[in-house]
Amino acid sequence: MIQIEQVSKGYQNKDITFTVLKNISLTIQRGEFVAIMGKSGAGKTTLMNIIGCLDTFDSGTYCLNGTDISHLPDKKLAFIRNEEIGFIMQDFALISHKSVLFNVMLPMYFDRTPWRDMKRSANLVLQKLGVADQQHKKVSQLSGGQKQRVAIARAIVKKPTLLLADEPTGALDSETSQNIMKTLVSLNQEGTTVIIVTHDSQIANYCKRKIIISDGKIIQDSAWHS
């Protein structure tokens, strides 16, 4: 599903180039549940952004579901993001003054899904995540755990093959974090490939595979043993 070969990425700051990823090679099969770990600045979020077609890279190749995305135009990358990838961000990235239902339906606006179908699909995932009774509330009225469930609902409403989560429980209490992770485990068991970026070993403990990045390089890639 994900095939990354010798990918490097750097950023230019005036006359200085900072290399963030150094010749990363990585294969992730469909249906895996993976934790990407590392200290702040190690390159884990940059790697996730490349996997999610949110960022480009300087050298190497990246194939997603058999498609080489290395030199695709922005329009095609946007299509892939909307059709194949779901994103869960640490800060939820929801529109706070809009309703829960609006936020979950948002990904379907871009492909002109009929209103009736958008509403039905949104209701189904909200029911699945236990927040259907909140659908008419504004996001600003929700608790942190409810916001994260809405963010997950939005991420999976189009049934993506790949779900990317950047510190999905970073702003939540322990009990809510456990419930969110159980939800992600359930989604993975249903066939969704899940990749989590985290610094928390307890969160990584839910995953079947752990990849550790340090100074832009993969230093460990192994099954996780609790």
- Residue % of the chain over a pLDDT of 70: 98
Mean pLDDT of 194-213: 94
Q: What pLDDT is stored for residue 225 in this prediction?
A: 47
Work out the average pLDDT over 140-167. 94
Overall average pLDDT of the 78-88 stretch: 92
What integer is the mean pLDDT of 34-49?
A: 93
User: Tens of pLDDT along 159-190?
Assistant: 999 999 998 888 788 888 898 999 999 999 99
pLDDT tier at 224, thresholds 50, 70, 90 = low
Mean pLDDT of the chain: 92
DSSP symbols for the chain:
-EEEEEEEEEEEETTEEEEEEEEEEEEE-TT-EEEEE--TTSSHHHHHHHHTTSS--SEEEEEETTEE-TT--HHHHHHHHHHHEEEE-TT----TTSBHHHHHHHHHHTTT--HHHHHHHHHHHHHHTT-GGGTTSBGGGS-HHHHHHHHHHHHHTT--SEEEEESTTTTS-HHHHHHHHHHHHHHHHTT-EEEEE-S-HHHHTTSSEEEEEETTEEEEEEE---
pLDDT of 37 strictly over 90:
yes
| pLDDT tens, residue by residue, 91-135 | 889 999 999 999 999 999 888 889 999 999 999 999 999 999 999
pLDDT, average across residues 50-59? 94
